[in-house]
Amino acid sequence: MNDDEQTIVALATPVGESAIHLIRLSGKEAGRVVAACFCPLRPERWEQSGGFTLHLGRFHDGGTELDQVLVSKMPGPASFTGEDVYEINCHGGMLAVRRIIQACLRAGAVPAEPGEFTLRAFLHGKLDLVQAEAVNDLIRARTPAAADLALAQLRGGLSGAVRETRQEILDMLADIEAGIDFPEEETDPLARADLLYRLAATKGHAADLLTGSHTGRLIRDGLSTVIAGKPNVGKSSLLNALLREERAIVTDIPGTTRDELHEYVTVGGVLLHLVDTAGLRESDDPVEILGIERTWKVLNLADVVLLLLDARDVRRGELSAEEDAVLAEYGTKVVALLNKTDLLPADEEEEWDLPALARTGARIIPFSVKTGRGLDELGRELREQAPAAAGALAEEPRLANIRQINALERSLRALEKAEEAMLASAPLDLISIDIRAALEEISQITGDAAEEDLLTRIFSRFCLGK
């Protein structure tokens, strides 16, 4: 990221031709940079404006006119970044954009890094990390529910709840450290009982914040849904059918898919993060072996496994070792789709006696990608399993971002360790180590004590100009 003394400039709209483009500037020198290139149509209005006004004029570079533009003037500290911000609305050709940005660079601005405007807003206390990440989530939301959740986080209620818990930890730490300084309190049973009580309450608050986070993650990221099965059973065909496009290569040659494919789609109102995988079987092809290893890895991260079985194998009671292993390992997460029922002789159609399969806990749906049989039932099944991913519960703010959830889990674990140490009558200075760890972890969520590299990691995932 740039030095915060520098004034940054970037295109905030997508690269390409459009009706208008928006170029953004922020920093101490933003006013001077704009003044060097902008001739307002009504100079007296431009000069006298206290800000949050829009001005028509010509943009030029050393006397060469570049475009007719509208400039909005937003002086700090009330602006988005907290610095002086100017936004140039220009015509939507990329040549005009490039020339305007060049003029700004010549006048002393530097190119912004992705997310740098939001980083500056964070550094100036305009929003915390939960809110900053919510801005990014709002931009990237794939469903109305995900957008609602991001908006709820942006309003700050969630940050408030996290901060309250953080403050409780901070207060306990302060009291313990005071206790260490006054050793007579160290042995005071009342003081220890009080601390233990507070520790339990705080742990409960942290756990409450986590309870909603599973739902939050489903709303934000969708249900992680892995399509698995033996080669040629129809996995890629199913992916394509759900996406309604020929995304994956489908052939009748077993072992077609090697690398996993990731896509997002809504089925029965449920947002799925779909993964198509390499078919599971014994293989001596080194490329295929790598693909199969990856399949087992993504299976471990799945919320739901769509295990495609060939209906004819099921009918004969012939499941492969790999199919048995998936059922044994992920039974209750598995929806077994008995595919290619269209190939079964008509007289065998309706009789399914599947006690062995049912004992694994898997839901069973007779299916055919070819005819579309079972698709509606699959939608109903997913909705039942994941009402959250269907977006029914988005109005309440909750943690949804995996970075924030992991930090909260680490904080909770540290609190648990502190509680155990307390119950084992450990000395206060030992307990304070765990409580300090809990404090550091929870502080990462809102960024109350964020390290620079954490900030760089977070904000580099943002769009340029945001």
Least Å distance between CB 335 and ligand GTP? 16
Residue 141: closest CA among 68, 39, 222, 28: 222
Residues 6+ apart with CB under 8 A from 240: 246, 247, 248, 250
Show the DSSP H helices in 128-231 as ranges.
129-140, 144-155, 157-181, 183-186, 189-221
Interaction of residue 257 with Mg ion, rule CB under 5 A: yes
Least Å distance between CB 141 and Mg ion? 30
Least Å distance between CB 260 and Mg ion? 10
Give the β-pairing of 53-61 and 38-40: antiparallel
> Quick one: 319 or 369, whose CB is closer to ligand GTP?
369
Least Å distance between CB 227 and ligand GTP? 8
Residue 362: closest CA among 385, 344, 383, 379: 385
Question: DSSP strand E in 243-331: where?
Answer: 261-267, 270-276, 304-310
> Quick one: 229 or 391, whose CB is closer to Mg ion?
229
Determine the interface stretch with Mg ion among 178-186, 252-260, 319-327, 400-408 (rule: CB under 5 A).
252-260
With CB under 5 to 8 Å by kind, the binding choice for 115 among ligand GTP, Mg ion, none is: none
216 to 245: interface string for Mg ion, x by CB under 5 A = -------------------xx---------
- The three-state secondary structure class of 71 is strand
- The three-state secondary structure class of 266 is strand
Least Å distance between CB 251 and Mg ion? 8
**Residue in the structure block whose two tokens are 């990329």:** 94
Judged by CB under 5 A, the chain residues 168 through 197 that form the site for Mg ion are: none
Question: DSSP strand E in 15-96: where?
Answer: 20-26, 38-40, 53-61, 64-74, 85-91
Least Å distance between CB 254 and Mg ion? 9
Residues 6+ apart with CB under 8 A from 233: 279, 308, 309, 310, 339, 340
> Quick one: 236 or 432, whose CB is closer to Mg ion?
236
Give the β-pairing of 304-310 and 270-276: unpaired
Asked whether the beta carbons of 11 and 101 are under 8 A apart, the reply is yes
Number of residues written out for the chain: 466
Least Å distance between CB 246 and ligand GTP? 11
Maximum CA extent, the chain: 88
> Quick one: 338 or 415, whose CB is closer to Mg ion?
338
Instruction: Give me 338's structure tokens.
Output: 């008995």
What DSSP letter does each residue of 408-446 carry, written as one string?
HHHHHHHHHHHHHHHHTT--HHHHHHHHHHHHHHHHHHH
Judged by CB under 6 A, the chain residues 235 through 294 that form the site for ligand GTP are: 235-237, 250-252, 254-257, 278-279
Least Å distance between CB 222 and Mg ion? 21
With CB under 5 to 8 Å by kind, the binding choice for 255 among Mg ion, ligand GTP, none is: ligand GTP
Judged by CB under 5 A, the chain residues 117 through 176 that form the site for Mg ion are: none
> Quick one: 5 or 252, whose CB is closer to ligand GTP?
252
With CB under 5 to 8 Å by kind, the binding choice for 416 among Mg ion, ligand GTP, none is: none
Residues 6+ apart with CB under 8 A from 225: 272, 273, 274, 275, 302, 303, 304, 305, 306, 382
Least Å distance between CB 247 and Mg ion? 11
Least Å distance between CB 318 and ligand GTP? 17
322 to 361: interface string for ligand GTP, x by CB under 6 A = -----------------xx-xx------------------
Determine the interface stretch with ligand GTP among 168-176, 199-207, 216-224, 232-240 (rule: CB under 6 A).
232-240
> Quick one: 137 or 310, whose CB is closer to ligand GTP?
310
> Quick one: 370 or 436, whose CB is closer to ligand GTP?
370
Distances, alpha carbon 338 to alpha carbons 209, 237, 310, 363, 380, in Å: 39, 14, 6, 11, 16
Backbone region of residue 363 per phi and psi (left: phi > 0; alpha: psi in -120 to 50; beta: other values)? beta
> Quick one: 368 or 432, whose CB is closer to ligand GTP?
368
What DSSP letter does each residue of 81-127 carry, written as one string?
SSS-EEEEEEES-HHHHHHHHHHHHHTT-EEPPTTHHHHHHHHTTSS
Least Å distance between CB 287 and Mg ion? 14
> Quick one: 290 or 402, whose CB is closer to Mg ion?
290
> Quick one: 258 or 410, whose CB is closer to ligand GTP?
258
Judged by CB under 6 A, the chain residues 201 through 230 that form the site for ligand GTP are: 229
Q: What are the backbone angles phi and psi of residue 23, rounded to the nearest 5°? A: -115, 135
> Quick one: 212 or 279, whose CB is closer to ligand GTP?
279
Task: Tell me the number of residues near ligand GTP by CB under 6 A.
Answer: 24
Residues that bind ligand GTP (CB under 6 A): 229, 231-237, 250-252, 254-257, 278-279, 339-340, 342-343, 368-370
Residues that bind Mg ion (CB under 5 A): 235-236, 256-257
